[in-house]
Amino acid sequence: MKPNIVFAFADDWGRYASAYRPYEEANSLNQLIDTPHFDRVAREGVLFKNAAVPAPSCTPCRSSVLSGQYFWQTGMGAILQGAEWDETIPTYPLELEKAGYHIGYTYKVWSPGKAINAPYGADRTRYEPAGTNYSRFSHWVTDNADELGIEGAKQALYDETRQNFDAFLEARPAEQPFCYWWGPTNTHRTWERGSGKALWDLEPDDLQGHLPDFLPDVHDVREDVADYLGECLAVDAGLGVILARLEAIGELDNTLVVVSGDHGIPGFPRAKCNLYDIGCEVALAARWPGRIPAGRAVDDAVNLMDLAPTFLEAAAVDIPDSMTGRSLLPVLESTESGLVDEQRTFVVLGRERHVAAAREGFLPYPQRAIRTKDFLYIYNFAPDRWPAGNPGGLDDPTVTAPSFAELCKDTFAVYPDMDAGPTKAWMIHHRAEEAVQPLFELGFGKRPQEELFDLRVDPHYMHNVAQDSKYSDTRRQLHEQLMRVLREQDDPRLVESDCRFEREPYISAPQNNL
């Protein structure tokens, strides 16, 4: 019997789940939250400790996940604003549909590209009859708490998730295997300020000493992180609804359940839209009784583009030649923990264009990186450009910044490749202070062509050792390894003398918005 496939894929959800506590330091953020439903999937299946996205920007990441290719191999799908889907590229859901699967999705799959969600059948396979309020979780609960109470308002959103999933199930022909994508976006900004405490009893100042070293450990930033963690808890609660429904209809144990997110936390320096761990590292767990031995944690380095061939192989469907990702099924079915596949010791990541107008001429910020167990090596192809986008003069600490309120709400005011929010606003307003200035430079300033971080002694990648003679052999080896993969996979940055990402239509003003 062919398995069902359920993929829970949250927008802007990094590696925040309590299942990771045993593998992290005592001051990690995961020590402060409980995600029982993600933890169940991990406990009854396998937890991936080193999963990364192919690109820390939603549309190019999702292009890779759906097509099983590196993002630069997806044509206009390699950028965010201005992305257009090439319908000649096979995607795993449409391949499954051709093989007899009932497919469908709720919330976000592939957007803001055109046509929206085309790689999953667009509106034809969309199931949202109960609404889309879940994507505004903290706003909606806050707005309706007086009438329904906080728990009652939450329950209304859980009911929405169940009803949307039920509509998908009811449309399934009898006995047909199904493939469902649940894509909540509540972990994408905006969220209600103070909601972490008000809705989830997360005390912001309990986060003191738990933030990464490149973030100021002040109340405003801690509150911002606490509010985000509340949204992560909402994702986990929705996942629980899906699992409970599968169990109720007797389909849970014949379903390959995979849970992850499309990149890291938004609105924070060095995070979303950056190749550092906080931008690219994500939670990943899979459950499939009888096929995935339970209770395992694996060290294999996984690029999420490997999921497309994994889903197809699990369903016994031929994998298209275009899929350059490698199926994870042998790792899933192994009885081993630790490093299962000795070839999975690194991942290659990259970035091109996020916000179109972030730089003059709609230019990208091109980067590629290789992440191994001990090192992160980043190559910046255009170090003269601003990685966070146009500073609007704010690289001069004497220039007056836009208001705090504007920086909290308007992503495009300055540094537009970083989402608006209180942390961004606080750091801009305090950037001239002696304690903040070096952190501001790390997060907002220009970067050298090469960055190398020894994660064994520098887990928060604070000290670039690319020019340190002690690391010259490591830098050279990682550079050569990265460039070899890029050439083998026909990255335009290396194989085209007139790189497509530097010319139209890739640098045109987009017609679609974020």
- Asked if residues 66 and 91 have their Cβ atoms less than 8 Å apart, the reply is yes
What type of residue is 487?
Answer: R
pLDDT value, residue 1: 86
pLDDT value, residue 511: 67
Residue 73, exposed/middle/buried by CB under 10 A (0-12, 13-18, 19+)? buried
Residue 51, phi then psi, degrees to nearest 5: -100, 140
- Asked if residues 30 and 268 have their Cβ atoms less than 8 Å apart, the reply is no
Pairing of the two strands 178-183 and 296-303 = unpaired
CATH of 4-286+299-336 given 3.30.40.10, 1.10.10.10, 3.90.550.10, 3.40.720.10 = 3.40.720.10
Nearest one of 236, 244, 237, 247 to 153, comparing CA atoms: 237
Nearest one of 467, 26, 482 to 275, comparing CA atoms: 482
CA distance 126 to 315: 22
What type of residue is 269?
Answer: P
- The Cβ of residue 435 has, within 10 Å, a number of other Cβ atoms equal to 9
Q: Tell me the β-bridge partners of 106.
A: 182
- Domain borders along the chain are 4-286+299-336, 350-502
CA distances from 448 to 176, 468, 501 (A): 54, 14, 20
pTM for the predicted model, two decimal places:
0.97
Nearest one of 75, 72, 67, 188 to 120, comparing CA atoms: 67
CA distance 159 to 188: 21
CA distance 231 to 401: 29
Helix axes 307-314, 58-67, angle to 10 degrees: 30
pLDDT value, residue 6: 98
**Torsion region of 112: left, alpha or beta (phi above 0 gives left; psi -120 to 50 gives alpha):** alpha
CA distance 434 to 316: 59
| Average pLDDT, 10 consecutive residues per value, the chain (514 residues) | 96 98 95 98 98 98 98 97 96 98 98 95 97 97 98 98 98 95 97 98 97 98 98 98 98 98 98 98 98 98 98 98 98 98 98 96 98 98 98 96 96 97 98 98 98 98 98 98 98 98 94 52
CA distance 131 to 49: 34
CA distance 243 to 41: 9
Pairing of the two strands 284-287 and 296-303 = unpaired
Residue 235 tokens read as 């994702």
